[in-house]
């Protein structure tokens, strides 16, 4: 059976991003800090579009104001072998748990299996690329249902490598996970329920924020990552 999407209209507005009217009656009006938004990105036509995702920081200069939702990155760590070993193994330790021995020339799938063998890493929560060692580093990206957009501990490595010239193994952070903010602007508060005009002289405007509902992600005016969606469980994502 072929499924088709129905664009619903609520209050004479085209809410194609909104999967149901549930929650509109509970929309909460909040002040928007206009200076925090980029005109070319957030209100190109002189108004904030309905469906604009916002955060409401709980500390700092913008506390209590609606501001743009900050993006979070998935952490990536690079495991590099030096000294051109010709044999031996190494282990990786993540958050207190240590893998089985990994061969010096292992392929990415072997490193992945070793990491997923840890009790604190769920299957599908890490991706390993690169390899085989020792000539090509392995890149471990933490994502999936467990570490999506999170700042995770740096792995450590222990070497039992042999041959070559002073073989060693090290782990470095390629991309730090998280948003690097501490004021709460990386937590989804909701979506602007109706378009709201913005004048060039405005510093603060007020608009209704939808705090619960069913959201059609592909139709939002500004893309919302899976990591951003994961910060709020009051919405059903479609």
- What digits encode the pLDDT tens for the residues 139-160? 999 998 899 999 999 999 999 9
pTM over 0.75: yes
Predicted pLDDT at 170: 98
157-197 pLDDT, tens digit per residue, is 999 999 999 999 999 999 999 999 999 999 999 999 999 99
* Architecture of the domain whose range is 9-69+186-237: Beta Barrel (2.40)
Q: Is pLDDT at 13 greater than 90 in this prediction?
A: no
Residue 24 phi/psi, 5-degree rounding, is -60, -35
Q: Is pLDDT at 10 greater than 50 in this prediction?
A: no
How far is Cα 111 from Cα 132, in angstroms, rounded to an integer? 10
- The candidate with the shortest Cα–Cα distance to 196, out of 64, 49, 55, 53, is 49
Per domain, the residue ranges of the chain are 9-69+186-237, 76-175
Q: Is pLDDT at 91 greater than 90 in this prediction?
A: yes
Percentages (nearest 5) of helix, strand, coil residues in the chain? 15, 35, 55
- The candidate with the shortest Cα–Cα distance to 213, out of 49, 28, 26, is 26
Cα dist from 130 to 39, 79, 80, 106, 133, whole Å: 40, 10, 10, 10, 8
The residue that leads in pLDDT, 45 or 30, is 30
Look at residue 131 and give its three-state secondary structure: coil
Predicted pLDDT at 7: 39
Q: Is pLDDT at 77 greater than 60 in this prediction?
A: yes
Handedness of CA 11, 15, 20, 25 (dihedral sign): negative
187-228 pLDDT, tens digit per residue, is 999 999 999 999 989 999 999 999 999 999 999 999 999 899
What mean pLDDT is predicted for residues 94-120?
98
Q: Is pLDDT at 23 greater than 90 in this prediction?
A: no
47-67 pLDDT, tens digit per residue, is 999 999 999 999 999 999 999
Question: Percent of the chain having pLDDT more than 70?
Answer: 94
Q: Is pLDDT at 15 greater than 90 in this prediction?
A: no
Question: How many C-beta atoms surround the C-beta of residue 23 within 10 A?
Answer: 19
The residue that leads in pLDDT, 25 or 14, is 25
Predicted pLDDT at 14: 65
């Amino acid at each position: 059976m072929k499924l088709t999407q129905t664009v619903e209209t609520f209050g004479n507005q085209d809410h194609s991003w909104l999967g149901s009217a549930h929650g509109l009656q509970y929309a909460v009006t909040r002040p928007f800090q206009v200076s925090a938004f980029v005109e070319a990105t957030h209100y190109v036509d002189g108004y904030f579009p309905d469906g604009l995702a916002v955060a409401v920081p709980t500390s700092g200069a913008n506390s209590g104001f609606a501001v743009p939702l900050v993006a979070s990155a998935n952490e990536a760590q690079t495991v590099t072998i030096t000294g051109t070993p010709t044999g031996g193994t190494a282990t990786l330790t993540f958050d207190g748990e240590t893998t089985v021995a990994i061969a010096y020339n292992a392929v990415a799938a072997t490193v992945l299996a070793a990491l997923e063998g840890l009790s604190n890493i769920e299957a599908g929560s890490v991706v390993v690329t690169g390899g085989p060692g020792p000539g090509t580093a392995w890149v471990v990206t933490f994502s999936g249902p467990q570490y999506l957009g999170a700042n995770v501990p740096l792995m450590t490595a222990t070497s039992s490598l042999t041959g070559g010239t002073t073989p060693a193994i090290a782990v470095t952070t390629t991309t730090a996970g998280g948003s690097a903010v501490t004021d709460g602007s990386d937590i989804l508060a909701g979506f602007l329920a109706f378009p709201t005009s913005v004048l060039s002289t405005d510093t603060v405007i007020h608009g209704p924020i939808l705090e619960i509902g069913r959201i059609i992600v592909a139709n939002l005016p500004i893309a919302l990552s899976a990591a951003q969606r994961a910060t709020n469980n009051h919405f059903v994502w479609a």
